[in-house]
Structure 1
Amino acid sequence: MKFIHTSDWHLGHILYNLDRNKEHEAFLHQLCELVSKEKPDALLVSGDVFDSAQPTIPAQRLYNRMMVEIARSNPDTTIVVTAGNHDGASRQELFSELWDEAFNVKFIGKIGHNEDGSVDLDKFIVEIPGKGFVIAVPYIYGENYPESTREGFAPIQDFHQRLLDRVAELNVDGLPVVMMDHLAVASCDITGHDSTKVRLVFEDIDVLGSGYDYLALGHIHKPQTLEATAARYCGSPIPVSFDEDYEHSVSVVTIEKHGDAPEIRTEPVANVMPIWNLPKKAGDIEEVKAAIAAVPAGAVGYARVNIKVKDILPMEQKIEIESLMKEHEGLKLCTVNVVHEGSSSPKALKTYTPDELKQHVDPIQIAKDYYEASHDGESLPEELVDILKGIISEVENNQED
């Protein structure tokens, strides 16, 4: 089976109040051309199609138009789309039957049930006749997983293994098995994700079961194949922040038969509006001026100037930076990122697994972690700790009453 793996389009995303519809349209045209060239058996989109659960009208129009174009240009390609944490699963599932019937586009957004109340496992299983099976798992909040049916298995592990076991029953010809998921796997590289704003919940890869030949992951934006596994994040096709300053791509994957290792090839995405960090790492005003001067004539894209200062950015330096940037008409200056000298790099916000949260992680420690991550490593002031302790004590007393 041959398929193209992509995810995290974030259609409708706004960068510093700038609309990115032009970039997304350019990417989707590239994707359409790639599908027509490669003629895959399937196109897999592993979540976060939109940037919001209530996407803008232009974003929805772009999605509808380009999905129809891809489907009509490649009628032999099955398109499978899952909902991510940014997507409105119910909203997107509303027209799933129409998409399936008219364009062979399968959309899976949430858990469904049979008439007897049992989980509809077959809803998540897409058979590509004579080619393979796709288990399409959307983003599922931890508390929404069905109760475990076997002792010793957490709900997430039980759910995935039941799906894999069901496919094993159907897969009498030993065809390749691909599973889609939208979550953060422990040990993945989260470079580019702002850990001070988003708390990622990591899952051990073992809880996703065994029996798949390739795990088509979404949610993490940096392309990567997880070590010693057949699991891959294809990454976002265009950066959603200045911290995602690395090559973006989609993945072309081939699996000969069930049990074989996948052959993975990356296809870079040419971004019509690339991001520019000037300089790459924050420097003094002279380094900033040198970085701006080194920008090629005619360059286009979004720019972030990274400058290091002792206290505050002098107004004359800000004016000078803005003046220099005006010489590059194709660059849109989004922000001047001020980094204070002597401050440590922002501390990454500690993440907690579901099991850790269930074990009543100390709320004061969580507050300390958050404060340090948001204040360049500074400790939470003791007076705030005392206030927090008082609030916790009052809540606990009210619960006892």
Structure 2
Amino acid sequence: MRILHTADWHIGQTLSGWTREVEHQAFLDHLADVIEEEAVDVLVIAGDVFDGINPSGDAQRMLYSALAKFRRRRPHLTTVMIAGNHDPAGRLEAPDAVLQVIGVHALGTLRWKDGQVDMDRHLIPVADAGRQVRAMVLAIPFLRAADLPGLTLGAEVTAGSPVVAATRAFHQQLAAQAQARAGGLPIIATGHLHCAGGTESEGVERRILIGGEHAVPPEIYDPAFAYVALGHLHRPQNLGDGRVRYSGSPFPLSAAEIGYDHGVTLVDIREDGVTTTHRPLPRPIPCLQLPERGGMSVADLDAVLTALNLDASAPRDRHPFVWLRFLADRPVPNLLAEVETVLERHAVRRAGVRIEQAARAASETAPPVSLAETSPEELFVSVFQDMHGMPPDARHLAAFRDAQVGE
């Protein structure tokens, strides 16, 4: 049988006020094609389906429409969807009774029964196209400290981290419970957390803190798990012995992700074991960082954008996103105003602007002088230099002196 592992959709995300709706719809439409073309039996969505805990009606309609489409394209498809740290856990699983009619199991929170995780809910048998059960999916959503039995924060331990120890013990207990029910079938575990050794993406991923820790070793996952489908880190990557994998986000959600090979993971379960294949995804909208390295002068921006040869007739919501990096060769407010003026002439959308300040001289890092050894104007000059990477000109000094007179 074949499983498709995906995660970190972040439906509803915006960039500097721009919606990503076109990209999300294009991704979901393409995912329906992949599910049919690759003869997928099980879809695993490992958390962060939405970008925030209060998704809009449009975001929810987009999700549920896609889930229904997947089922139409592959009538026996089983979908297992867990909540991530961005998701509204209760809202995600609220329509579970209706979703199960189309083969969707939504797990937002951890359920307990008689002091143990409720395996009737969290251990899901999944079948191939012939309706024969071939594996079990152990669906574990984003965990909080309260979900880890025996975790006492601040307690004295003889060695190691109490968070890691509690997380490892929790997953070992789950593995034992699942094995007792699986009857020898492969067990596919899910999770939404940060495993140590994984590459983080600056700008979107939040550090998940449990008792002050944000990462646990991949070895917490018992060898009983044939594959571990994770969400949270946006770069596709294997960890540990290769059984533990992040599928990554479907397209760049921040400037740090522009170079990622975004895609989904196909997991094949055969009698001789489990194999994985990364399937790249096309980018619905170009995402560009200009320049690719270092910074540029704002005077170069018009020529750089012209060289892209962009289609000015394209609809606004199809324009590429650009992250821009400049060298501070003038006061920041003036620089930003000039940038906006140039961008209005080109078929791009500003995703972010970073201004690289000039390196401070050694004298600027010396201990501060006392107020008796300086003057208000000298302090103004120093602060202006720190903020804008250059000294104030005559206009700024005149405005500062006028303000002093006004006092």
Q: TM-score, normalised by structure 2?
A: 0.75
Offset at residue 319 of structure 1 (A): 5.0
Gap runs ≥5 in structure 2: 128-132, 152-161, 313-318, 361-385, 388-407
Does residue 250 of structure 1 match 2:264? Answer: yes
Does residue 182 of structure 1 match 2:192? Answer: yes
Q: What does residue 323 of structure 2 align with? A: 304
2:255 aligned partner, one-letter code: F
Matches within 5 A, 1:371-382: none
- Work out which of the residue numbers 175, 194, 213 in structure 2 matches 1:164: 175
Gap runs ≥5 in structure 1: 344-374, 377-401
Structure showing greater Rg: 2
Q: Structure 1, residues 342-377: CA drift from partner, whole Å, max 9, x if none?
A: 27xxxxxxxxxxxxxxxxxxxxxxxxxxxxxxx99x
SS at match of 2:143: coil
- Work out which of the residue numbers 126, 129, 138 in structure 2 matches 1:128: 126
- Distance, in Å, in 1 between the alignment partners of 2:173 and 2:282 is 40
Offset at residue 176 of structure 1 (A): 2.5
- Distance, in Å, in 1 between the alignment partners of 2:345 and 2:330 is 28
- Distance, in Å, in 2 between the alignment partners of 1:94 and 1:319 is 47
Contact 2:218–2:240 (8 Å) recurs in 1: no
Q: What does residue 40 of structure 2 align with? A: 40
Offset at residue 274 of structure 1 (A): 2.5
- Distance, in Å, in 1 between the alignment partners of 2:304 and 2:200 is 27
Matched residues, number: 335
- Distance, in Å, in 1 between the alignment partners of 2:84 and 2:204 is 18
Contact 1:2–1:42 (8 Å) recurs in 2: yes
Does residue 192 of structure 1 match 2:202? Answer: yes
- Distance, in Å, in 1 between the alignment partners of 2:39 and 2:193 is 28
2:343 aligned partner, one-letter code: M
Offset at residue 224 of structure 1 (A): 1.0
- Work out which of the residue numbers 209, 220, 227 in structure 2 matches 1:214: 227
Contact 1:161–1:210 (8 Å) recurs in 2: no
1:13 aligned partner, one-letter code: Q
Q: What does residue 76 of structure 2 align with? A: 76
- Work out which of the residue numbers 241, 260, 284 in structure 2 matches 1:272: 284
Offset at residue 117 of structure 1 (A): 4.8
Residues 48 and 64 of structure 1, relative CA distance in 2, 3 Å threshold? same
Q: Structure 1, residues 277-332: CA drift from partner, whole Å, max 9, x if none?
A: 111223231665554343233283111211122673372x5455444434432x11
- Distance, in Å, in 2 between the alignment partners of 1:312 and 1:266 is 46
**What value does the CA root-mean-square deviation take over the aligned residues?**
2.7
2:111 aligned partner, one-letter code: G
Offset at residue 205 of structure 1 (A): 1.4
Residues 89 and 194 of structure 1, relative CA distance in 2, 3 Å threshold? closer
- Distance, in Å, in 1 between the alignment partners of 2:197 and 2:5 is 21
1:165 aligned partner, one-letter code: A
1:253 aligned partner, one-letter code: V
SS at match of 1:189: coil
Q: What does residue 350 of structure 2 align with? A: 333
Offset at residue 19 of structure 1 (A): 1.5
